[in-house]
Structure 1
């Protein structure tokens, strides 16, 4: 895949088309995060990666009434594996799915076994983010939420 120029990415942001912005890695290191935006379908995602280029934390947002709502948080653990990239197998995945009315469902998958629990009346006011201008992702890419 040929990388987009900043102007091409800016145009895609304006039109709502899909684009991915990758944080510039230090020389000789894997990128630490990427932002995927497709506002025409109401989608935004922030993915944090480890030193092997594997996804470790994924925040998925959906566009609701002109703002982004953090709908899904998924964390990935690879144990002692040093496999690289998107083909590495996780040993544990933990997913939180939020609704705007304060319901959260937590699913943990370990070695193919899955357990799920739900909670109600959760304060989700911090799950809302303004739609960022192109390149102004500092609020969206906060790891600690």
Structure 2
């Protein structure tokens, strides 16, 4: 996996906003400022995923992208007692659409929201309808992740959770 860095990713243009050198990104990581690490499978290949980190506000996200540059899976973490907790997991499907990046509208969104005390709410949006369900006493022990060192995102970017 090859990493490039920027302040943020622009979904519409599928390009980095304010590119950063690895040294600048590392300084932002150390100070808690926002930066985005973009993973490429090979040099000059389309991005496979991106990691957004802003430790000063206790935020981290991992967003997996498809071959059209669209977000397909989004994990959002929040910092609690020195560890990251997976608070939201959202998946997006686009049917037969081949629209690119931020111009595409998902035809189905499935979102899971978790609390550290084991409450999970699932929301499904499809065909202009929304359904919700909640569960209690859910085992959320696998939702915890250590805060990664700069560049050491392997545990955070696990797709299967």
Partners of 2:58 and 2:64 in 1: CA distance: 20
Is residue 18 of structure 1 aligned with residue 34 of structure 2?
yes
Match of 1:138 in 2: 154
Please show how residues 36-115 of structure 1 align to structure 2 within 5 Å.
Answer: 36-115=52-131
How does the TM-score come out when normalised to structure 1? Answer: 0.97
How does the TM-score come out when normalised to structure 2? Answer: 0.88
The alignment partner of 2:99 has SS state of: coil
Unpaired segments ≥5 residues, structure 2: 1-16
Tell me the matched-pair count: 145
2:51 aligns with one of 20, 25, 35: 35
Unpaired segments ≥5 residues, structure 1: none
Query: Over aligned residue pairs, what C-alpha RMSD do you find?
Result: 1.0
Partners of 1:9 and 1:27 in 2: CA distance: 19
Larger fraction in strand = 2
Match of 1:3 in 2: 19
